[in-house]
Structure 1
Amino acid sequence: MPDLKEFLKRIISLPGLSGHEGPVREVIAEAWKPLVDEISVSRLGSLHALKHGQAAPPRPKILLAAHMDAIGLMVTRVTPEGFLYFTEVGGVDPRILPAQAVTVHARRDLPGVIGQPPDRLLPPHLRGKPVPMSHLVVDVGLPPEEVQALVRVGDLISFATEPLELGEDLIAGHTLDDRAAVAAVTACLDELKAVNHAWDVVAVATVQEEETLGGGLTSPFEIRPDIAVAIDVTFAKGPGVNDYRGRGLGKGVALGWGPNTHPAIFESFKELADQLDLPYEVEVHPRYSGTDAMGMQIVAEGIPTMVLSIPLRYMHTPVEVVSMKDVRRAGRLLAQFIAGLTPEFMEQLKWDE
């Protein structure tokens, strides 16, 4: 397997907006193929990677889900002057958009920048305030007639921020939500090469989590796992996030506790993290978790589900920040949990444990 940091930097450099994940799926499949026994793609486009366990068949299965889709933008109008108006794909805060470098995926990829009108030319009620998305444009710097020929309404726009290493441990860039979790699942699969495990493992890079939970709802229906784990990101402590809603960056993974989490599986992860001396925090979800677990948990007759999260600063911006320590810790915890699953585990699982 390639160096985990370099792999993560590669996949966060690729487009793959929600519903259009093809470019990044190919690279993830390339990395996962040597680590598993079977690779397939679901009807909706999620990547499925099966690694057989050693127990006698039929073996129980655990599904590891990390979504590979990205937030971004979509062209809504091409002006006669060659400027592009746009809307969001996934949750995008318009405050972070002005002056961003982007790529417009038109008849050919076009580099562009997001511009905004001078403050004095805005409507009076907007002066001195963040500029709404409806007043922002993408400028690709081409003659209007060329823009009209190349760009269509519905073309996608992705962020073009280059990955940046901060110090020795941190990575900054776009789409770390949730490709940092894809890297953690990759680290798990790599560790499992040298580990005996009874259960089948199905790693899934899901599609459309940012918009529809499409992969989280459909892949478990096809796979029918006994247990499902959603690996995602959560808010790290930082500017404006210093209360119970934030986790320490580089201080360990977050174990989700809430309605999308099976209590007995939560306790199993917590006890294992203590045994392995892996740092973690408990993240309380008073309502839904905002992850693929929301979909996976209610597939068919219901699937016992766990939420494991990697702390991340500046979520849903082109400069998200994660710690590689936390990415590796998540991968190790997953691998060791899988290694400890016995064929009889499900018989002992009770909601009220």
Structure 2
Amino acid sequence: MSLDTLRDRLQTLLRLPGPSGRETTIADHLARLWGPLADEVRRSPLGSVHALKGGQGPDPRPKVLLAAHMDTIGLIVSHIEGEFLRVQPIGGLDPRVLPGQPVVVQGREPIPGLLVAPPDHLLPPDLRGKPVPVGHLLVDTGLPARRLRRLVQVGAPITFGTAPTSLEGDLLRGPGLDNRASVAVLTEVLEALRGRPHRWDAVFVATVQEEETLGGALTSAFAERPQVAVAVDVTFATGPGVGEDKGFPLGEGITLGWGPNIHPALHRRFKALAEALEIPHQVEYLPTHSGTDAMALQVTAEGMPSMVVSIPLRYMHTPVETVSLKDVRRAARLLAEFVLTLEAETPWLTWEE
């Protein structure tokens, strides 16, 4: 797939709403997109999308699960005040960047709006001169109060209205790249496996609710019971306020997680494979939890050997998240080769440090 095709596909994914707990629109799109690429596509009771690529090894075949969460951060309507909407966050939001941002209220129909803050001198004294907390922000849609109440109910989700934008070279900017970039990775892996035999069954899961509950990964892993699970996500790229001690260069390679959330044998295998394929990569040290679906995958049922593969992303959890398309392709190539090289027997899959 060319970078232009990947860019177009990813921009389509970014334009589809899907804040945590309200992923139906993006899930419907993925079910249609993955249908021709997989042997079977189904939805979990919570709404995660599962796509199966059957292996050709002897029964009973082991199974590998590749997970990328499709939900995004956003807002939810908490109260209607005349012509304005009060909001609360879905997922982690940085209140410093919110005032003035265009949004779309997902009411009975999509309604464009603007996040606005009260004048500083009208805020409580302890909030003046500081970033305005989300609970003090309002959404102005320009609609009269009566029409607004007909179209919007308390509980309606709100997504960012910033359009995805191509930057210099292979960079793409827009809201929701955490984690639609990784959903694009899974799609590329599915395409890479077409017509190429592999021994293990491979299950691709676009999970729901990672930003809030991890419920998608937890329930999908329980349903599939794979022998190996890999979470594909984004990580911090270097940029303003994020030095080399806290982030990774944008466009210079992917990261391979290492820490208690990661199975040592899986880390070694991914690292050796990346080196053999000459895929640029760095080790990302995760001394506690990984902040990804792997937290749920690892502890589902009797426990599952888990791995985290990440794409560096700049300006995380803002409407202008930025990734390198080359890193997206690198992650896809590594994961496809991982699936293709899995042997029927797994004597290597033991917890040895």
Partner of 2:76: 74
Moved more, 52-61 or 202-211: 52-61
5 Å matches for 1:133-212?
A: 133-212=134-213
Partner SS for 2:111: strand
How far has the Cα of 1:352 moved from its partner? 0.6
| Alignment partner of 1:21 is 2:19 | no
Letter in 2 for 1:216: A
How far has the Cα of 1:243 moved from its partner? 3.3
How far has the Cα of 1:30 moved from its partner? 1.8
Give the structure-1-normalised TM-score: 0.97
Letter in 2 for 1:34: P
| Alignment partner of 1:45 is 2:47 | yes
Partner SS for 1:327: helix
Moved more, 194-203 or 83-92: 194-203
1: distance between equivalents of 2:317 and 2:95? 11
How far has the Cα of 1:197 moved from its partner? 1.0
Whether the 8 Å contact between 2:111 and 2:141 is mirrored in structure 1 is yes
2: distance between equivalents of 1:223 and 1:148? 43
- For structure 2, the 5+ residue unaligned runs are none
1: distance between equivalents of 2:304 and 2:120? 52
2: distance between equivalents of 1:302 and 1:135? 42
Two-structure CA RMSD over aligned residues (Å)? 1.2
How far has the Cα of 1:262 moved from its partner? 0.3
| Alignment partner of 1:214 is 2:215 | yes
Whether the 8 Å contact between 2:228 and 2:304 is mirrored in structure 1 is yes
How far has the Cα of 1:121 moved from its partner? 2.7
Partner of 1:269: 270
Partner SS for 1:274: helix
1: distance between equivalents of 2:146 and 2:35? 45
Whether the 8 Å contact between 2:103 and 2:158 is mirrored in structure 1 is yes
Whether the 8 Å contact between 2:86 and 2:139 is mirrored in structure 1 is yes
How far has the Cα of 1:253 moved from its partner? 0.6
2: distance between equivalents of 1:166 and 1:304? 38
Whether the 8 Å contact between 2:265 and 2:348 is mirrored in structure 1 is no
How far has the Cα of 1:68 moved from its partner? 0.2
How far has the Cα of 1:147 moved from its partner? 1.4
Partner of 1:305: 306
How far has the Cα of 1:296 moved from its partner? 0.6
How far has the Cα of 1:326 moved from its partner? 0.3
Partner SS for 1:103: strand
Partner of 1:10: 12
What CA deviation, in whole Å up to 9, does each residue of 1:269-320 have, x standing for no partner? 0001000000001000010000000001011111000000000000011100
1: distance between equivalents of 2:52 and 2:330? 22
What CA deviation, in whole Å up to 9, does each residue of 1:44-69 have, x standing for no partner? 11000000111122111000000000
Letter in 1 for 2:54: H
Letter in 1 for 2:255: A
Letter in 2 for 1:38: E
Letter in 2 for 1:18: S
Query: Across the two proteins, how many residue pairs are aligned to each other?
Result: 351
Partner SS for 1:348: coil
2: distance between equivalents of 1:333 and 1:195? 15
Partner SS for 1:337: helix
Partner of 1:33: 35
How far has the Cα of 1:99 moved from its partner? 0.5
Whether the 8 Å contact between 2:121 and 2:128 is mirrored in structure 1 is yes
How far has the Cα of 1:106 moved from its partner? 1.5
Partner SS for 1:4: helix
Moved more, 287-296 or 140-149: 140-149
Letter in 1 for 2:121: R
2: distance between equivalents of 1:83 and 1:137? 6
2: distance between equivalents of 1:171 and 1:31? 21
How far has the Cα of 1:268 moved from its partner? 0.3
How far has the Cα of 1:124 moved from its partner? 3.1
5 Å matches for 1:57-72?
A: 57-72=59-74
What CA deviation, in whole Å up to 9, does each residue of 1:160-196 have, x standing for no partner? 1111000120010011001100001111111111432
Partner SS for 1:311: strand
How far has the Cα of 1:23 moved from its partner? 0.4
Letter in 2 for 1:134: G
1: distance between equivalents of 2:320 and 2:262? 29
Give the structure-2-normalised TM-score: 0.97
Partner of 2:350: 350
2: distance between equivalents of 1:120 and 1:299? 51
1: distance between equivalents of 2:191 and 2:243? 34
